[in-house]
Structure 1
């Protein structure tokens, strides 16, 4: 019997509840809230969500290519549901749905959780620890472009380790190379960028095993260096409230058909360099 994505999510929630967990009821916006989140403590510009509740990040080539990689890894493991921490407006949940992967989003900023709920997701406006999920209960957790926003990422990784089943998988992505750090990173709340070595070390120290590290988006390194890092080194700063670049950028949209071909080829070649570092780790 085939289930819709919404049905898959409900089956997953019912499975967790059968372990003794109690889900919260949705509010008037369909968002589930266990306890209030101090949004001022979240290292991400909430005005980015408030300014455009219909963010089109999910339509970008970046999200599309990464979603294909994630879906392939999950399907190879026989998994079709993933819990995503820091899901934003759905820049991964939406393209994953196109790949027949159901996502249960956990997003601490209410505006993001509300946007996801409006798109039919079973969304939580929470931090992971506030859900108090049972030990050893999840098969797959994703945390994409989030660890760099956390002053102490090992805290959330320890919680993920607790709730994953033995043999469960954690999928992670982070921005690459501290030498590319710029005011772009500062404006969107990054504490750091990562190397393959530093990400591996972080996951290993959080007890994850069989850590596989790869890179994505090699072709974006040079533009990031020229358009972000060099101006930053020269003392050129963006306006404080400048909008965060998204896939709506005209040039990226214009070049998307060509970029798609290059990125799909790049992914098959497994080039050990790229603007994003991706990891697959097992409990």
Structure 2
């Protein structure tokens, strides 16, 4: 296929040269649209046959004056400095998903639009609530236990941050549950940092501690003081506008009694 057009958050993405072997990822997770008059925010050329199967999450970064590259065992991204035009070389579908996460996260942070948080996100009574944590912390479990509430993400939450409001979007970056066709954005009401426990308890976190808790939950690979500054600025706005909690929870849905 020559190209496909999709949308992530508010951003229009044009994907060129998508191999048939990788189309299943987009058919399963990404909305398609065809609007040749709409200038894409990001243009990506995709090539397969790179590297080896997934080894670990270690990413090396090389930055030049007009180009930046992200290299992992199973993918390579070569992008302009604005993350608007990129080539992605991948080994397989998993590599492509992670490469797209890396590129999109860098794009929204660089342009001060928002952040991609390692988290699940659920809508309850029209408000969104994030459950953040590293792999194994219980993000997918909290998402499953939240059914029948609507799920916006189970791995990576798209968070738009402005001085006036913080909103979240339906995310195509999924680990288990496939996305719905939910459109638009939702106001973010709370962030829960997950702690597995023998009983349910929700503790408010002070803003400075909340910022520290969330720093390593962002999909981000630091490579310049300027971009690290952007990241910290966005996180500072986030924790000042949205309360952060430690959520000690059991493997049942009773933790929602502490949130709703």
State the TM-score, normalizing by the size of structure 2: 0.29
**TM-score, normalising length: structure 1:** 0.27
Which protein is richer in helix relative to its size?
1
Which protein has greater RCO, CA pairs closer than 8 Å, 6+ apart?
1
Higher strand share: 2
